[in-house]
Structure 1
């Protein structure tokens, strides 16, 4: 019987899909077999707006507790769901190359953002998306929504609800003209065909870490040398630097993942360019800044993020975004 490792994941369709991808990569790299355990988290149980669920980490806490208790060798998270302060007993052992970082519009009748009629109803549970959307199109009506990706798609007129197997059926609610979701999640679920418009970062900067996965282990490692080596191989240095800059900015601002803050870093050769935005929650005012530096190490990436955050704070970002 071959040696195996256990991976913990949330039970949502998106979480299990992206966990299965990461686990398969690690199984191939390590030569080990894999067992998956589903862990129910507070974010999966509590109802109400995401912005009111009691701070960051609601989707990660139970999973982390399960990992700390030895219930699994590693856990797979959406990086944007993790608080920026890393618990000392745990470490992020791998951040694979990330998916599409953009937000995506899924609208009725194939409409793009520019084509949505005045007063159209657009659903999102993200204050960041809502603020930037209203800054660009103040005529739109933002509707707060929750639920998994198929449930949110089911709110769009004509798009339909989706079944347990991911297929899309006739719309149950259809009360919205569009919803905004992360392109990465739609691609991972095979639902990219519902995207009617990719929102350019010049209009909507993504959440820090959006599109990236984080594979977390106990600080001492997994206890399996083959698995530890596979994690090192799976880790992508460029992606880690990019998301480190974004999350260092968020952490310096002392803003949670529900704050109206967007950030995106990308490399141009050895130069890391970081863009960030802080918004009034109503979208009436937007503060956008950028910075760049030659970055070769993760520590240098963190310094860039902290420096840009200091610029934002000096220009009034805390008061504007309600962080103070």
Structure 2
């Protein structure tokens, strides 16, 4: 590919860091182009503004109008439906998908005192926190990663004190910013299954742009793609948006694709879970795709039969 590959990303510190690290693996010379999205400027809760596409639409517009050649997204922000004129060229190898706790005084989740204030902007995390610890006060929280950390640990630069006891963040984001040392606990997937696609990065190009597709091709990771596609099929099958109280985690291990998906009541009083597996033989792209559809389809059927639709589309109180 001749010329500079223009790579669009959100302008947040985390987005620039993770995109910059990935772009080093693209072929040829690259230029990062920060794009401001609705999710970056609107500080309303994700439940109010609707999570689907708020961090993605502006990047896709820039891709379609030629401002950028490639768009890099946190995969968990990407709507499950196809976007006209755009193709998903690569899904990079996933970082640790788990959630992490950053708490005052080095506290673990179990050590948080009764009534502790824990911040998160994710309806899924809110439901999981309430399910695991009904005694906690869960506080809606937006902002970039350092700002959220400061709400729990205080800000040494400004001298502003903390107003929360802890915050919950994606461990992958902390690692990409070199802030994983701030984590005081890691929340295990069995109790805190994460958002579909969490920890993975998606690379989109314009449909038919063979040069850009070739430039990013080596960043595509087959096992990660199979896992996150299974998770996203669950999201699509339940007709749930990115802000739904839904956790799903899949992984390829021991020659199988494993998937566990859970739907929650927003108040944490109910959880429905389905787990399924698919034995892999050839590990071709076609087989991976079939495995993802199969395990997700069975999980969706089981969850729907158990009443997951009512939980997923439940209107939050207030």
Query: Any idea what the Cα deviations from partners look like across 1:11-40, whole Å, max 9, x if unmatched?
Result: 1111111111111111xxx2x111111111
1:38 paired residue among 34, 39, 42: 34
- Contact 1:89/1:219 (8 A) holds in 2: yes
Residues 1:89 and 2:85 are matched in the alignment: yes
For 2:289, the equivalent position in structure 1 comes to 298
Q: Give the C-alpha shift of residue 55 in structure 1.
A: 4.1
Partner of 1:77: 73
Structure 2 unmatched ranges of 5 or more? 281-286
Q: What are the within-5 Å matches in structure 2 for residues 15-30 of structure 1?
A: 15-26=15-26, 30=27
Counterpart in 2 of 1:122? 118
Q: Which residue of 2 aligns with 1:199?
A: 187
1:214 is matched with 202
CA distance in 2, matches of 1:14, 1:116: 27
Distance 1:173 1:84, change over 3 A: farther
- Does the alignment pair 1:314 with 2:305? yes
Q: CA deviation at 1:299?
A: 3.1
Residues 117, 170 of structure 1: alpha-carbon distance in 2 compared, 3 angstrom cutoff: farther
Contact 1:254 1:323 in 2 (8 A): no
CA distance, structure 2, for counterparts of residue 147 and residue 189 of structure 1: 15
RMSD, aligned CA: 1.5
Any residues of structure 2 matched to 1:222-241 within 5 Å, and which?
A: 223-224=210-211, 227-241=212-226
Q: Deviations over 1:133-169 (max 9, x none)?
A: 111111111000110101101101xx233xxxxxx63
CA distance in 1 between partners of 2:254 and 2:89 (Å): 25
Query: What CA distance in whole angstroms lies between the structure 2 residues aligned with 1:319 and 1:12?
Result: 35
- C-alpha deviation, 1:320, in angstroms: 2.4
Structure 1 residues 76-116: Cα deviation after superposition (integer angstroms, max 9, x where no partner): 00000011112131111111111010000000000000100
| 2:169 maps to 1:175 | no
CA distance in 2, matches of 1:65, 1:228: 18
- 1:242 lines up with 2:227 in the alignment: yes
Report how far residue 266 of structure 1 moved.
1.2
Tell me what 1:140 maps to: 136
Q: Is the 8 A contact 1:280 1:322 kept in 2?
A: no
Partner residue in 2 for 1:269: 254
Farther off after superposition, 228-237 or 79-88: 228-237
* In structure 1, distance between residues paired with 2:173 and 2:271: 26
Shift in Å, 1:323? 5.4
1-side partners of 2:90 and 2:159: how far apart?
Answer: 39
The match for 1:287 among 272, 275, 280 is: 272
Take 2:113 and 2:159, find their aligned partners in 1: how far apart are those partners?
21
CA contact (8 A) 1:160 1:169 kept: no
The residue that corresponds to 1:9 in the other structure is 9
SS in 2 for 1:25: coil
CA distance in 2, matches of 1:88, 1:297: 24
CA distance in 2, matches of 1:160, 1:119: 19
Matched with 2:172 is 184
1:258 equivalent in alignment to 2:249 = no
TM-score, normalised to structure 2, is: 0.93
Give the secondary-structure state (helix, strand or coil) at the position aligned to 1:297: helix
